[in-house]
């Protein structure tokens, strides 16, 4: 699966996008990118939270949950650095898998059906954090 990720707002909001069929190796790539972003944020903005948008509107399939969990564990262990993940997809199966993962791993996952909706959710999260910091 082709994959790209970048800071949308440095040290605060990552925007990742995938398309095609996701493999376990793709999940490992995603995990490595998440760890890179979280490490950068820890160096540049200690104590802050990072929100991630994962746009999966063009992802055709993902591996079974039991194959993805070992790859996701390093990121989930750093969840105190992560406010939440916003997963963008119309696919009910993928949304259900992520919802179960979030529940089992005590990881906050929010859902959106468009990139615009995801950005609005992220903006709301960031505004709440800014108010809490004051």
Say which residues have a Cβ less than 8 Å from residue 125's Cβ, sequence separation at least 6. Answer: 51, 83, 84
Question: Which residue segment(s) compose the domain that 97 sits in?
Answer: 3-114
Is 124 inside any structural domain?
A: no
Specify the pLDDT at position 31: 82
Is 38 inside any structural domain?
A: yes
Q: Average pLDDT for consecutive 10-residue bins of the chain (134 residues)?
A: 89 92 84 87 85 92 66 57 78 84 77 96 88 72
Is 133 inside any structural domain?
A: no
Split into its structural domains, the chain has a count of: 1
Which of 125, 52, 124, 63 lies closest to 93, judged by CA? 63
Specify the pLDDT at position 97: 79
Question: Are 76 and 105 in contact, with CB atoms under 8 Å apart?
Answer: yes
pTM: 0.83
Specify the pLDDT at position 71: 62
Say which residues have a Cβ less than 8 Å from residue 14's Cβ, sequence separation at least 6. Answer: 5, 6, 7, 8, 34, 37, 50, 51, 52, 53
Q: Which residues pair with 15 in a beta bridge?
A: 6, 53
């Amino acid at each position: 699966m082709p994959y790209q990720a970048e800071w949308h707002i440095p040290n605060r909001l990552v925007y990742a996008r995938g398309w095609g069929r996701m493999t376990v190796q793709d999940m490992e790539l995603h995990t490595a990118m998440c760890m890179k972003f979280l490490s950068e944020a820890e160096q540049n903005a200690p104590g802050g939270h990072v929100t991630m948008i994962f746009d999966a509107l063009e992802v055709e399939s993902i591996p079974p949950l039991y194959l993805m969990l070992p790859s996701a564990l390093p990121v989930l262990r750093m969840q105190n650095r992560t406010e939440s993940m916003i997963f963008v997809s119309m696919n009910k199966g993928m949304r259900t898998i992520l919802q179960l993962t979030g529940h089992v791993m005590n990881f906050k996952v929010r859902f959106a059906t468009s990139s615009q909706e995801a950005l609005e959710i992220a903006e709301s999260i960031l505004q709440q954090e800014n108010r809490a910091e004051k």
